[in-house]
């Protein structure tokens, strides 16, 4: 039963290829096979969002995507966010405490900042529904998102992660 399938994807701008059991979840593939341990697993019912990564530019819960489903996709993890304004905004607004949900919070927030920048505070809170944070009471996560939006407005817009799939 331990059939293994070949997969190939672009992770944080680098092509990676490997063999996985079909049942391997993308989150475990990133963590165990690629050593990208920034992506965390906080629950087993697809609720908490700590494992959120960008898949072809869209935030997805990598604990509920099979690695084989991500074959040929572009994946961005928190490690691929290097020096992003969202990270800076989280630092400056104290949008994290223990840091465990933070990778997911950052990836979801990056999407909000880029795709839903005109959201009101209430709308931001609704968009954060796919995230459970036990430390911050969300207050400073909301402020971090707003701060990142402001930073984005002030700077030149950043290039969004491509949505197209290479083959």
Which of 122, 117, 164 shows the shortest CA–CA distance to 145?
117
Q: Residue 98 or residue 153: which is nearer to other proteins going by CB?
A: 98
Question: Does 79 participate in binding other proteins (rule CB under 8 A)?
Answer: yes
**Least CB distance from residue 99 to other proteins, whole Å?**
3
Of 10, 16, 18, 68, the one binding other proteins (CB under 8 A) is 68
Question: Does 71 participate in binding other proteins (rule CB under 8 A)?
Answer: yes
Question: Does 48 participate in binding other proteins (rule CB under 8 A)?
Answer: yes
Are the C-beta atoms of residues 100 and 92 closer than 8 Å to each other? Answer: no
Of 10, 16, 18, 47, the one binding other proteins (CB under 8 A) is 47
Question: Does 138 participate in binding other proteins (rule CB under 8 A)?
Answer: yes
Q: Residue 126 or residue 153: which is nearer to other proteins going by CB?
A: 126
Question: Does 42 participate in binding other proteins (rule CB under 8 A)?
Answer: yes
132 to each of 86, 103, 141, how far by Cα in Å? 18, 12, 11
Of 9, 34, 61, 110, the one binding other proteins (CB under 8 A) is 61
Taking CB under 8 A as the rule, which mask of x and - marks residues 80-99 in contact with other proteins? -xx----x--xxx-x-xxxx
Of 6, 19, 139, 153, the one binding other proteins (CB under 8 A) is 139
DSSP state, residue 68:
G
Q: CA 151, 152, 153, 158 torsion: positive or negative?
A: positive
143 to each of 14, 55, 76, 120, 133, how far by Cα in Å? 32, 25, 23, 11, 14
Which of 117, 115, 144, 6 shows the shortest CA–CA distance to 56?
115
CB atoms closer than 10 angstroms to residue 119: 17
Spacing of C-alpha 64 from chain mean position: 13
Taking CB under 8 A as the rule, which mask of x and - marks residues 95-134 in contact with other proteins? -xxxxxxxx--x-x--xx--------xx-xxxxxxxxxxx
């Amino acid at each position: 039963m331990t059939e293994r399938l070949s997969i190939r994807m672009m992770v944080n701008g680098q092509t990676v290829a490997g063999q996985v059991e079909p049942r391997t979840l993308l989150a475990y593939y990133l963590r165990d096979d690629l050593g990208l341990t920034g992506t965390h697993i906080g629950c087993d019912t697809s609720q908490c969002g700590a494992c959120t990564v960008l898949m072809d530019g869209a935030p997805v819960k990598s604990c509920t995507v099979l690695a084989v489903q991500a074959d040929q996709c572009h994946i961005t993890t928190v490690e691929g966010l290097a020096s992003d304004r969202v990270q800076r905004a989280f630092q400056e607004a104290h949008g994290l405490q223990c840091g465990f949900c933070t990778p997911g919070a950052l990836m979801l927030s990056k999407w909000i900042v880029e795709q839903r920048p005109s959201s009101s505070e209430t709308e931001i809170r609704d968009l954060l529904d796919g995230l459970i944070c036990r430390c911050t009471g969300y207050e400073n996560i909301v402020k971090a998102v707003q701060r990142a939006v402001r930073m984005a407005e002030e700077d030149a817009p950043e290039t969004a992660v491509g949505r197209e799939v290479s083959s």
